[in-house]
Amino acid sequence: MSTYLLLCVVGKFETTEIALKNGIKVRGLTPEGYSASVKHFMQLASEAIEFYEDYFGVPYPLPKLDLVSVHAMEFRAMENWGAITFLSKVLLLDPETTPAELIQRNARSVAHEISHMWFGNLVTLKWWDDIWLNEGFARYLEHHVLDTLRPSFRSWDKYLQQVYQNAVEADWVLAKTHPVQITVPDPDSLSDVFDNISYAKGSVICRMIHAFVGDDDLFKKCLSTYIKKYSFKNTETRDLLNIIDELLAEAQHGAGIKCSEFILPWIQQPCFPVLRATRTGPKKYMLQQYCVSSNVDERAKKLLWPIQVNWMTNKGLTGSLILKERSKEFSLEDKVSEEEEVFVYFNHGMKGFYITIYDDAEFKKMAEHLGSFSEADRFGMLYTLTKTS
Ligand SMILES: [Zn+2]
């Protein structure tokens, strides 16, 4: 156990508990008279433990998990070794009278902290430079667990507003942001990295890794292999990427670029790109990338990312390419018949961390078809408009 995970709580608590099928106890520790209010999230915590045990293929490592209600602390919650402290206003509630949005937000905190029992506690970072690995994955996995256990929350539908948008806002100005992986010289500098770059952009990067791996089962196998290999050990970003590279090469028989090659520029460079799609012919576009801060910051002109461009046409044709260069021609001439009128929407599914800009005429054509777009793509179109107009 890492020293930062040691918890000692002194106070007068009322305790209530439920046992999982495998005998693990989930206990709620509340001020006297409040034990009924912790039961809602004790139930969710029990289900989340079983979810993660199955997802990682690694049992919860302790005989109990305490959910401890405290009145004041710096964060909403903190994952300790077998005990999570929550602000009372996060942990204690009456589901009959609490607004649904608040229940969902607090449920995400519960799911988030429990993921740390594996991602963070069982496998701990070597140092805080890689804090995104804890917080980015926890913010990503909290959506997975709630999507499965509480589908009515529609967690993935809200992901773009709750996480993606926060990442864009935090990373928008090169002079004010920092890379996801950052040197933390000493513990006094820690507060600088507990921000939306580590949490929200970290989460979006996990989503990009998932999209790059492609297959859900393979992504799950990568995380499971990582947790199994490094249980009770310390890691850094490279350890997870090496496992993904190996398993992906095995699955693809060595074809394609490595995940580490694709994702490291996103982790090690600040800011993010704009993708400009300019129509150059009936079925052709010129794709160009530049940093969102290029017009105000000279340093930005050198930045370049490998962009996974998932595209979709108005005819439902889809595909994917990696844009590693500053610019590249995109053609559908060999895929679409001569007389067919097409337009292409780039960043289909909003899985990539970039904003796409089109010519006005192109944008208008797409706007007419907005009703046929998925919720994520509609968000992408409208959000791009608000950020670029
Ligand atoms: Zn966390």
Determine which one of 47, 113, 135, 142 is catalytic: 113
Domain assignment present for 134: no
Determine phi and psi for 379, rounding to 5 degrees: -60, -45
| Dist. CA 157 → ligand 1 center (Å) | 21
CATH code where residue 7 lies = 1.10.390.10
Tokens for 326, please give them.
């500053």
| Dist. CA 167 → ligand 1 center (Å) | 16
Please tell me whether residues 155 and 246 are part of one structural domain. Answer: yes
From the list 383, 353, 208, the residue with the least C-alpha distance to 274 is 353
What is d(CA 137, CA 206) in angstroms, rounded to the nearest whole number?
Answer: 6
| Dist. CA 120 → ligand 1 center (Å) | 8
The whole-number pLDDT of residue 170 equals 96
Catalytic, 113? Answer yes
Please tell me whether residues 52 and 90 are part of one structural domain. Answer: yes
Cβ(277)–Cβ(362) under 8 Å? yes
Cβ(281)–Cβ(231) under 8 Å? no
Domain assignment present for 130: no
Over residues 289-323, the pLDDT tens digits come to: 999 999 889 999 999 999 999 999 988 899 999 99
User: DSSP H helical segments within the chain, as ranges?
Assistant: 35-56, 88-91, 100-115, 131-149, 155-159, 165-171, 202-213, 216-230, 237-252, 259-268, 360-368, 375-388
Q: How many domains does the chain have?
A: 3
Three-class secondary structure of residue 116 per DSSP: coil
Alpha-carbon distances of 380 from 29, 258, 333, rounded to whole Å? 43, 27, 26
What is d(CA 351, CA 377) in angstroms, rounded to the nearest whole number?
Answer: 10
Classify residue 139 by its DSSP letter. Answer: H
Identify the bridge partners of residue 85 per DSSP, sorted by sequence position. 68, 78
The whole-number pLDDT of residue 42 equals 98
Domain assignment present for 228: yes
Tokens for 127, please give them.
């140092």
What is d(CA 140, CA 108) in angstroms, rounded to the nearest whole number?
Answer: 10
| Dist. CA 137 → ligand 1 center (Å) | 9
The whole-number pLDDT of residue 338 equals 67
The structure tokens 């107009």 sit at 389
- Domain stops at, among 222, 250, 268: 268
Please tell me whether residues 335 and 257 are part of one structural domain. Answer: no
| Dist. CA 303 → ligand 1 center (Å) | 29
| Dist. CA 111 → ligand 1 center (Å) | 10
The whole-number pLDDT of residue 59 equals 97
Tokens for 309, please give them.
């461009």
From the list 243, 247, 245, 256, the residue with the least C-alpha distance to 322 is 256
**Residue 175 structural domain:** 140-268
Task: Spell out the per-residue pLDDT of the chain, length 389, in tens.
Answer: 899 999 999 999 999 999 999 999 999 999 999 999 999 999 999 999 999 999 999 999 999 999 999 999 989 999 999 999 999 999 999 999 999 999 999 999 999 999 999 999 999 999 999 999 999 999 999 999 999 999 999 999 899 998 999 999 999 999 999 999 999 988 888 888 889 999 999 999 999 999 999 999 999 999 999 999 999 999 999 999 999 999 999 998 767 899 999 999 999 999 999 999 999 988 899 999 999 999 889 999 999 999 999 999 988 899 999 999 999 999 988 887 766 777 899 999 999 999 999 998 888 888 888 888 899 999 998 888 888 76
| Dist. CA 114 → ligand 1 center (Å) | 9
Identify the bridge partners of residue 321 per DSSP, sorted by sequence position. 309
Query: What's the number of CA atoms in the CB half-sphere (13 Å) around residue 89?
Result: 7
Over residues 125-166, the pLDDT tens digits come to: 999 999 999 999 999 999 999 999 999 999 998 999 989 999
